[in-house]
Amino acid sequence: MVKAGIIGSTGYAGSELVRLLMGHKDVEIVWYGSRSYIDKKYAEVYRNMFEIVDAVCMDDNMEELADQVDVIFTATPQGLCASLVNEEVLSKVKIIDLSADFRLKDVKVYEEWYKLEHKAPQYLDEAVYGLCEVNREAVKKARIVANPGCYTTCSILTTRPLVAEGLIDPNTLIIDAKSGTSGAGRGAKLPNLFCEVNENMKAYGVATHRHTPEIEEQLSYACHQPVTINFTPHLVPMNRGILVTAYASLKPGTTAEEVRAVYKKYYDHEKFVRVLDEGECPETKWVEGSNYVDVNFKIDPRTNRIIMMGALDNLVKGAAGQAVQNMNLLFGFDEDEGLRQVPMFP
Amino acid sequence: MVKAGIIGSTGYAGSELVRLLMGHKDVEIVWYGSRSYIDKKYAEVYRNMFEIVDAVCMDDNMEELADQVDVIFTATPQGLCASLVNEEVLSKVKIIDLSADFRLKDVKVYEEWYKLEHKAPQYLDEAVYGLCEVNREAVKKARIVANPGCYTTCSILTTRPLVAEGLIDPNTLIIDAKSGTSGAGRGAKLPNLFCEVNENMKAYGVATHRHTPEIEEQLSYACHQPVTINFTPHLVPMNRGILVTAYASLKPGTTAEEVRAVYKKYYDHEKFVRVLDEGECPETKWVEGSNYVDVNFKIDPRTNRIIMMGALDNLVKGAAGQAVQNMNLLFGFDEDEGLRQVPMFP
Amino acid sequence: MVKAGIIGSTGYAGSELVRLLMGHKDVEIVWYGSRSYIDKKYAEVYRNMFEIVDAVCMDDNMEELADQVDVIFTATPQGLCASLVNEEVLSKVKIIDLSADFRLKDVKVYEEWYKLEHKAPQYLDEAVYGLCEVNREAVKKARIVANPGCYTTCSILTTRPLVAEGLIDPNTLIIDAKSGTSGAGRGAKLPNLFCEVNENMKAYGVATHRHTPEIEEQLSYACHQPVTINFTPHLVPMNRGILVTAYASLKPGTTAEEVRAVYKKYYDHEKFVRVLDEGECPETKWVEGSNYVDVNFKIDPRTNRIIMMGALDNLVKGAAGQAVQNMNLLFGFDEDEGLRQVPMFP
Amino acid sequence: MVKAGIIGSTGYAGSELVRLLMGHKDVEIVWYGSRSYIDKKYAEVYRNMFEIVDAVCMDDNMEELADQVDVIFTATPQGLCASLVNEEVLSKVKIIDLSADFRLKDVKVYEEWYKLEHKAPQYLDEAVYGLCEVNREAVKKARIVANPGCYTTCSILTTRPLVAEGLIDPNTLIIDAKSGTSGAGRGAKLPNLFCEVNENMKAYGVATHRHTPEIEEQLSYACHQPVTINFTPHLVPMNRGILVTAYASLKPGTTAEEVRAVYKKYYDHEKFVRVLDEGECPETKWVEGSNYVDVNFKIDPRTNRIIMMGALDNLVKGAAGQAVQNMNLLFGFDEDEGLRQVPMFP
């Protein structure tokens, strides 16, 4: 039985991790970290866990935790994981970091977009970007897994095959993304109040959202050239779900069959990426509660652009589910262990 | 491996049954019945099932089905199950009927409330009312299980212990119930359109809702006297969830401790009924996607009435989850097999 | 042109008052009070007011305000209005208080339910309870109008005619009320976050909600005897709207025609109270954005109880609209001036 | 008093027209056309109109209607208006057509995108495209006003100034649009059910939506060259509102100040178009219930693209409000008569 500790277990991503790990046959959570709720029963913070989780919230003590567990998940604000990790910790446990601390290889890019000094840049090189469909083998051997962002996972899985195969010009890529509100976290802020979000839609972080360089970096690896894109996130009045609509110029003469063949080549053997039937547009509800990403595309012959679409649950494949998938790779479990939830509809 | 067939697999309750049975280790669905979608791929009707269910929808042929499966679930409009069931069918398979056909023992009451002639009244006596927490032993031996209604399950589990123990006067009972919209089914009707339901709340079926006699009958068994109640359902702009607020006159002198002790007596050993901590009001979100029912109460000393509250997911404990629970009893599986979902929040 | 000042103009009720007064031909707002946003442009707090309101938020200085305006609306937390009002202020302006400070005649009841010392009990007697349909003539002559609560307005208008005419036993009255989330205010609190409210329903303040004594007091005036009721509020995932479902024992032998005649007697000449056609249940969406209250009833002959239903928009007839209606009475305007909005559907 | 008739008064756009005209001091509705509800009271179809509209629904007889009214609004499916209009009708009344019949000048384009034979192509030339901010003078003299589509109005007003002034390359324009569900109409169709839309988001009509050629035609007039764009509509779980996010390559060297100056030049004198302050992203809730369009932009120097954003209420400025605005121009009323609603928030 693998022992797991969660630092930041009372945010939405942390609580989703608890939900998923409860159904994982080979893992036991032994540390529910939460600086805000120390000594409070976890089930009093999340009443859905009543009679399911009996534990009490603990402080964020990574060193002590490292002695007690095999894997630490950090579902915390940016900067915390980098400030806690050190060689002694890494000699004892695996770290799966759901924050952005180890996602970008270039510390300058990190510090520019996150406006934070990075406290452990020495681990940037060894940290593995935990997008399992891309870095499966590297994840298995990692000490630190940088769990990708929610927008990023959806954007990359939706567009990467065409970028990698040269079917689209990556520098024409425009990603218009729409997210449910749980992505904004559980902080008590006015813009996240029900009455401010409900019956409302808006863009935010236009041209400045922090997931932009993460998408660009990963796509540049795929095509071996620098990539600069437009990325615009939007807030949608729903709890869960990310929908990505991505636009790019298609290599002249490319047919729908060729595009489909490329998607199939990359994803036919991937359980969690579903290439939908021709003509079907992904819907966030079709993946809710599950680790699936649904992708599809449409070519517009009038403009010779391709519209690529992807949908996932931001708390599962966009956060906690992907973290569990990474953990499964790290410990040699079936990759879908604990992740066999059928999407819940309606 | 138990083989299951579903008649009416493309309604919301039917599709929830598919979702749950996909996660049940001892059951295989071999017949996806759906009169409306014969020969259509199930995953084209419910896209969330893409690459999960490969089957095609079949007709509602109960006799043929009886030869192929061990258990038949009927998630169909009232009247259909009663019109199909017969001795030959019952000699071959177990029937779990999610419609109302076998819930009421008195055929006259059925015909009065449902405005339908009952086609198989000869089985009313032997059918077992499948509220597992009440009729567990009888269910195990049944040929026909009448799966309770969603409002009914929530109303009975919330109030029954106090009725049974004589702590409340059953004829003062007023049940004000609130339901998510999936309870209205997947029929394309104007009142169920998004724009008609969203940002709206209303009562409906006031003093005439068909779940009323079902609640009354079951409560009358608990207190060995006729029970007549008020029951008012309301439509709430959410997909899932039923919340029951029930009012009754409390036996003079009864303390909160005594009431709590009664709830504990009935439910301490029930996995799926959670008696919340003092002062906590049940919320539908805390049980969403799971088979739990959360109950609690508050005494108002000013009026000497008690306010009892209960919450469940209408598609799980209120329909498909309870059906699986009944199936587990029928076939000797662990009662929570396939039903260990942690509630999904948010 | 009547000059109006608003203390607390940046809460939801305050901003609704701004919206309504913008369309009132005889009133000009000259003071947008808001302690939290002093010196900030009002339209930066409420972007819907961009290019409509050009003013800047001011402090809550009632004495200075009294010199500048003819009427002061206080849309503030309990206690503030009572702490500011004095004889000098009252000699200069009319006060319409949207808080609870002057709603209850008995200072002990106020202090018990609100856990606050009342700072101006000397004005409790003269303050007029501003439910226009009940106290129209008294309002016209008032110096202080106590604008009723949202739950209260809906509960009283729905039940009062039958209480007044002795058709129901007031001490059997049970009021189950459901409210949109704007009733909880614009404070940045965790329980009001989108993800906590959306797809969720719960009761709260069970047996302890502060609108209870207000309803009881007003109903006791109607029937000249003390009234004690059950009142249970619920939170609904929608922005606006209150729905009241009220239950009471009907005077034996009373017919639906008699009940309807009583409602008609009280409301036929009331523009803002609509007695719906037989069989129609009020829906909150039918009154959204308007000052209407829709009421209707159903008799359950099986229990001899009557189910009374009412719906209003909590921010209009439940707060700001009623305040404007009171102002119209105070200044001799048409009672519906500024209140002719047709309900917005969908 | 201008007499108005509405053909198609029981769709969502038709009923919004009723709501707005009820508040217009110079207009009286004398004909509530609705083929589906002939002889039914209008207020029974839309209960919000109870005690406000007393009329009964009539058939769609344009010739009879022409004798009784001064202006006819057709809020009907494509094809109907074109099939009814003729010289005699036009000699008697003004027509404001909310369908697409007279929006496109080229009958071949109409027939290709709408898959319909056009029954009155002889009026295409004289019909005026009723986007008041663009064609104000022409509207005043028109016999037939082609009221623009909801997506179209938002897309054109958001992007047209920059297209007209040559600041963006129109053939790089990508419009990603998000709409509330009332845009899908009041038809009882499965995809519009509450449970299918709520908590869900999807694109639809990708590369084939009928508003595409309408946007292209109008933008081509602005820049005097053919324009081909990408347009992708999305369905959002809310009742009202359209949000447009538009991307285009910016003329090299253009500054934000220059862009802002262009928007100001076009819209400073337009009451209904609000150019938001720098850095503010339009939100649909800020215009709900009103005739406003909010626009703004952000330049991304990394890609040298500009992101233009616009928001409106699809039923007001996107349909009925714009129709009233056109009527005001036709009859010489103040352009904002009946359209002074302050946006409703929350």
pLDDT tens per residue, range C109-121: 999 999 999 999 9
D55 lies in some domain: yes
- Do residues A275 and A212 lie in contact, with contact meaning Cβ atoms separated by under 8 Å? no
pLDDT at D60: 87
Mean of all residue pLDDT scores within chain C: 97
CA distance D239 to chain A (A): 7
- Do residues A287 and A294 lie in contact, with contact meaning Cβ atoms separated by under 8 Å? yes
- Do residues D48 and C284 lie in contact, with contact meaning Cβ atoms separated by under 8 Å? no
CA gap C177, C155 in Å, rounded = 8
In sequence order, what are the beta bridge partners of C144? C95
pLDDT tens per residue, range C210-250: 999 999 999 999 999 999 999 999 999 999 999 999 999 99
Closest chain D residue to C183, measured at CA: D346
A-chain residues near D245 (CB < 8 A): 176, 203, 232, 234
B155 and B303 housed in the same domain: yes
Residue D300 has phi, psi (to 5 degrees) of -105, 100
C58 and C181 housed in the same domain: no
In sequence order, what are the beta bridge partners of A233? A177
Amino acid identity of residue B229, one-letter, is I
Which one, of D209, B113, A127, lies nearest residue A135 by Cα? A127
pLDDT tens per residue, range B211-226: 999 999 999 999 999 9
C346 touches chain B (CB under 8 A): yes
A93 and A210 housed in the same domain: no
Give D330's contacts (C-beta < 8 A, 6+ positions apart): D71, D94, D96, D139, D140, D142, D145
Pairing relation of β-strands B2-7 and B27-33?
Answer: parallel
Give A336's contacts (C-beta < 8 A, 6+ positions apart): A271, A272, A291, A325, A328
pLDDT at C41: 98
- Do residues D29 and D49 lie in contact, with contact meaning Cβ atoms separated by under 8 Å? no
- Do residues C148 and C132 lie in contact, with contact meaning Cβ atoms separated by under 8 Å? no
Q: Which strands, in side-by-side order, build the sheet including D293-300?
A: D202-203, D230-235, D174-179, D242-249, D305-312, D293-300, D273-275
Token code pair at residue B216: 């009354």
CA gap C8, C186 in Å, rounded = 12
CA gap D52, C258 in Å, rounded = 26
Under DSSP, the state recorded for D319 is I
Task: Enumerate the H helices of chain B as residue ranges.
Answer: 12-22, 42-45, 62-68, 80-84, 87-92, 107-114, 132-140, 150-164, 194-197, 211-223, 256-267, 321-331
Helix, strand, coil percentages for chain A (3-state, nearest 5): 40, 20, 40
A90 touches chain D (CB under 8 A): no
pLDDT at D65: 95
Mean of all residue pLDDT scores within chain D: 97
B14 lies in some domain: yes
CA gap A189, C215 in Å, rounded = 33
Token code pair at residue A264: 């199939």
D156 and D292 housed in the same domain: yes
| ipTM of predicted complex | 0.97
Rounded to the nearest 10 degrees, how much is the dihedral formed by the CA atoms of D167, D171, D174, D179? 90
Chain A neighbours among D 291-310 (CB < 8 Å)?
Answer: 298-300, 302-303, 305, 307, 309
Amino acid identity of residue C44, one-letter, is E
CA gap B181, B239 in Å, rounded = 5
Which one, of B233, C273, C272, lies nearest residue C262 by Cα? C273
CA distance A231 to chain D (A): 10
A342 lies in some domain: no
Residue D29 has phi, psi (to 5 degrees) of -85, 125
CA gap C323, C316 in Å, rounded = 8
Pairing relation of β-strands D305-312 and D242-249?
Answer: antiparallel
Give D272's contacts (C-beta < 8 A, 6+ positions apart): D132, D133, D291, D292, D293, D317, D325, D336, D339
pLDDT at A60: 87
Helix (H, G, I), strand (E, B) or coil at B242: strand
D317 touches chain C (CB under 8 A): no
B161 and B59 housed in the same domain: no
pLDDT at B60: 87
Token code pair at residue B65: 């089905």
Helix, strand, coil percentages for chain C (3-state, nearest 5): 40, 20, 40
User: Position of tokens 């002061």?
Assistant: C72
D51 and D195 housed in the same domain: no
D340 lies in some domain: no
* Confidence band for D169, pLDDT divided at 50, 70 and 90: very high
CA gap D101, D132 in Å, rounded = 18
D118 and D214 housed in the same domain: no
C-beta atoms of B199 and D237 within 8 A: no
CA distance D313 to chain B (A): 14
A-chain residues near B287 (CB < 8 A): 48
C269 pLDDT higher than 90: yes
Q: How many CB pairs (< 8 A) connect A and C?
A: 55
pLDDT tens per residue, range A21-76: 999 999 999 999 999 999 999 999 999 999 999 999 999 899 999 999 999 999 99
Q: Rounded to whole angstroms, what are the CA distances from C3 to C64, C128, C142?
A: 14, 21, 18
* Confidence band for D98, pLDDT divided at 50, 70 and 90: very high
D202 touches chain A (CB under 8 A): yes
Q: Write the residue in D182, D189, D239 that is nearest to B188 by C-beta.
A: D189
B29 and B170 housed in the same domain: no
CA distance C238 to chain A (A): 8
Which one, of D260, D315, D306, lies nearest residue D287 by Cα? D315
Q: Which chains touch C (3 or more CB pairs under 8 A)?
A: A, B, D
Which one, of C159, C300, C286, lies nearest residue C220 by Cα? C159
Domain residues for C189? Answer: 151-313
pLDDT at D195: 98
CA gap A294, B246 in Å, rounded = 43
B299 lies in some domain: yes
Catalytic residue annotation of D: 150
- Do residues C180 and C236 lie in contact, with contact meaning Cβ atoms separated by under 8 Å? yes
Secondary structure (DSSP) of B67-79 = HH-SEEEE---TT
C32 lies in some domain: yes
A50 lies in some domain: yes
Pick the catalytic residue from A150, A195, A223, A281: A150
Q: Which residues of A276-315 are buried (b: 16+ CB within 10 A; e: fewer)?
A: beeebbbbbbbbbbbbbbbbbbbbbeebebbbbbbbbbbb
C-beta atoms of C206 and B176 within 8 A: no
Token code pair at residue C228: 């004690």
pLDDT tens per residue, range B26-36: 999 999 999 99
Number of alpha helices (DSSP H) and beta strands (DSSP E) in chain C: 12, 13
Which one, of D155, D146, D125, lies nearest residue D322 by Cα? D146
C-chain residues near B282 (CB < 8 A): 202
C34 and C71 housed in the same domain: yes
Say how many C-beta atoms besides its own lie within 10 A of residue D268's C-beta: 9
Please compute the mean of the pLDDT values over residues B152-160 and round it to a whole number: 98
Residue D221 has phi, psi (to 5 degrees) of -65, -35
Residue C162 has phi, psi (to 5 degrees) of -75, -30
Helix (H, G, I), strand (E, B) or coil at B107: helix
CA gap A205, D207 in Å, rounded = 27
Helix (H, G, I), strand (E, B) or coil at B189: coil
Residue A296 has phi, psi (to 5 degrees) of -165, 180
Token code pair at residue D267: 């819209």
C122 and C156 housed in the same domain: no
Task: Residue D94: give its domain's CATH number.
Answer: 3.40.50.720
Residues of chain A with pLDDT below 70 are: none
C60 pLDDT higher than 90: no
Amino acid identity of residue C233, one-letter, is P
A225 and A274 housed in the same domain: yes
Task: Residue C274: give its domain's CATH number.
Answer: 3.30.360.10
Amino acid identity of residue A280, one-letter, is E
Number of domains in chain B: 2
D329 lies in some domain: no
- Do residues C21 and C4 lie in contact, with contact meaning Cβ atoms separated by under 8 Å? yes
* Confidence band for C312, pLDDT divided at 50, 70 and 90: very high
C199 and C53 housed in the same domain: no
Mutation target vs D (from B195, B235, B288, B345; most D CBs, 10 A cutoff): B195
Respond yes or no on whether the N-terminal peptide bond of residue B237 is cis (omega within 30° of 0).
no
pTM equals 0.98
Task: Enumerate the H helices of A50-131 as residue ranges.
Answer: 62-68, 80-84, 87-92, 107-114
